[in-house]
Amino acid sequence: MALLYGALVLLIGAALLATSYILLDRALTQIALPSNPGDVTIVDNATQTRTLWNPSEAREVMRTDALHYLLNNGLLYFGVIVLIGSIGGYLLARQALRPVARITATAKQLSTNTLNERIGLGGPDDELRELADTFDEMLGRLDAAFGSQKRFVANASHELRTPLAVIQTELDVTLSDPDTTAEELRRMGEVVRDATNRAQRLVDALLALARLQGREGQGLEVSEPVVLNELIPNAVAAAQAEAAVRGITITAEGDPVSTTGDPRLLERVIGNLVENGVRYNVPGGWVKIHTESEGIGPSRVSKVIVTNSGISVQPEEVDGLFDAFRRGGRARTGQRGAGLGLSIVRAIVDAHHGSIDAAALPAGGLQVAIALPATANQAATLIG
């Protein structure tokens, strides 16, 4: 930048000098001298001598002397101005680039353990301040992402360690007893099977979530028209056994709605919502599934709303339910599930360019509504 400033001063000075030269030349050419044929007397003050020329020669001599004087003295001042301008440009560039140097120094010090550092530039609200603030916001997002990743890994390790510890304990206790009966071996096998199924479900959920997050921005592998109402029976059947044990009633109603996407993923969305409604419910409670369309024309959406009775959830805890390893607003608590159901739901809905909204019910329980773009055929049929 200092070189650019110096070059700019050089170009401007050269332009001014050339302009002055041209203007002076034209002015001297238009000097009016006596038109009579007599001679012009020019007195040299330095030598006190007189020289006689005719008017045309006198004009040329005056023009030449003036231009030589301008060039000789102008170049001297031109050099001084360029020198001063270059030094000033260097100092100005140094001052202007000081925030950039600060940003660079902060960037060099960053690592996964120092993402909490910020530039905090301050000063006038200019472009460099905006750049520094944007950089700070980016560091905040990275810090949050790395923190979330660390918590995810820690929680996943904890969840996987629990069933493995159960399996190890059961095997050690049973095999260390030489008088173990067949009934005890069968009981051990059932415990190991349950722990293995829990670990398998967790691994499947982690893989599903990782695949969805890994394909972010790349689109769906399968995209076809899907009638959401046709996915509800399978979703209900998967949770019916647990619902029957706890006396929970599941009902479904509403208009036929459709969207475009992956039917397997969309069935998992409804299944996870129903399973979540059953799992975090109270004995003898209920789960209701309602479908409806909303909007007109291209903005029309297909909505699936799952409402369930259950324990009371604080409104400020609702957003946290969609974080990984959250159960009923509490991290890694409870006996059932890994807390990944709603995280997977949100990832699938995002992949289908939909939206999800949850609200705590005053009497206890939760209402989760997903909105997906309606298919063109559905919108046209309903408009017609």
Nearest alpha carbon to residue 234 among 254, 250, 210, 220: 250
Task: For residue range 7-35, list pLDDT tens digits in order.
Answer: 777 777 777 777 777 766 666 665 555 55
pLDDT grade for 237, boundaries at 50, 70 and 90: confident
pLDDT grade for 259, boundaries at 50, 70 and 90: very high
Between helix 55-96 and helix 98-109 the angle, nearest 10°, is: 30
pLDDT grade for 2, boundaries at 50, 70 and 90: low
Partnered with residue 252 across adjacent β-strands are: 289
Task: For residue range 145-183, list pLDDT tens digits in order.
Answer: 777 677 666 666 766 776 787 788 888 888 888 888 888
Q: At residue 304, what are phi and psi to the nearest 5 degrees?
A: -120, 120
Question: Who wins on pLDDT, 208 or 195?
Answer: 195
Half-sphere exposure of 218 (CA within 13 A, CB side): 8
pLDDT at 276: 86
Task: For residue range 245-258, list pLDDT tens digits in order.
Answer: 899 999 999 989 99
What integer best gives the mean pLDDT of the chain?
Answer: 76
pTM over 0.75: no
143 C-beta neighbours (distance < 10 Å), count: 16
Q: Is residue 333's pLDDT more than 90?
A: no
